Amino acid sequence: MRFVPFVTISAALIVGVASPAAAITNGSADGTDHPEVGALIADKPHKDDTWSFCTGTLISPTVFLTAAHCGDDVRRGKDGKKTARVTFSSHYKQGDTVYTGRFVSDPRFYGDKSDLHDMAVVIFDTAIPDITPATLPTEGLLDELEADNKLQTADFTPVGYGSLNPVKGKDGRKYVYADRRNQTTISFESLESKWLNLSLVDKTDGSTCFGDSGGPNFLGGRDSHLLVATTISGDDDACKATNFDYRLDTPTARKFLGKFVTLPSTTRP
């Protein structure tokens, strides 16, 4: 499942809403910890009466970062342009505020080795009010931390609206969605040129799952807003193995992001 994206899967494998205590595979409800994290909302509810299908993060007052593969489920207008609906509600219910913006994928996503360019932004015409955007990393930040042997003991905090703890049933594995923003902690496994690989090392770790695609992996604990990688895929359909997250500190990622936001040029603590 190296590059099977974490998108909402077949409604036949979805069961009812679970308790928030079972969030995001060994996680908890995010509440107001990360108000800059939002969900892409479908035009109509899924068969389980939930609405979200991907996650993302506000990185400027008018720019929301998510995954390019999430664009398969967004609306395409008569002019051919894609638009996406985004909520920042910590527990979305029909009628909550939704912002509509233009969905723009990295144009390299559909070419050779497109998994290396799985990024997209939603661009809003006006600033999202009362939400402070996440902080993006400086170029090569993760390489610097690895060289200093700091990644091995670093905390990472994934946040997303995806499936809660999946269970294996007679008809296959079942995934539970709740339209709730959840968070967990996860540990460092390895660093590649484009990927940050994170894994469950001990009982306190959790994982991302289907529906968390495009969501943030913050460097640090639950009070961190330093966004270093976005959730793309995982190594198993139980959502308990290695997560493959797209680095945002590389020249490749910054080339796309720099078209829409001002990128930091100095090292942050």
User: Taking the CB of residue 99, how many other CB atoms lie within 10 A of it?
Assistant: 20
**Tokens 């994206």 sit at which residue?**
5
Query: Is 200:187 a contact under the CB 8 Å cutoff?
Result: yes
Domains of the chain: 1-260 (2.40.10.120)
3-state secondary structure of 253: helix
Residue 217 has pLDDT above 70, yes or no: yes
Mean pLDDT check: name the lowest of 48-57, 70-79, 238-247.
70-79
- Give dist(CA 209, CA 200) in Å, integer: 13
The pLDDT of residue 46: 92
State pLDDT tens for residues 3-52. 456 665 544 454 543 333 334 667 899 999 999 999 999 999 999 999 99
What are the Cα distances from residue 56, in Å, to 38, 65, 148, 159, 190?
Answer: 5, 5, 30, 9, 23
State pLDDT tens for residues 222-234. 999 999 999 999 8
Pairing status of strand 37-41 against strand 187-191? unpaired
Assessment of whether the complete model's pTM goes beyond 0.85: yes
The pLDDT of residue 110: 79
3-state secondary structure of 42: coil
Query: Residue 1: pLDDT band by 50, 70, 90 thresholds?
Result: very low
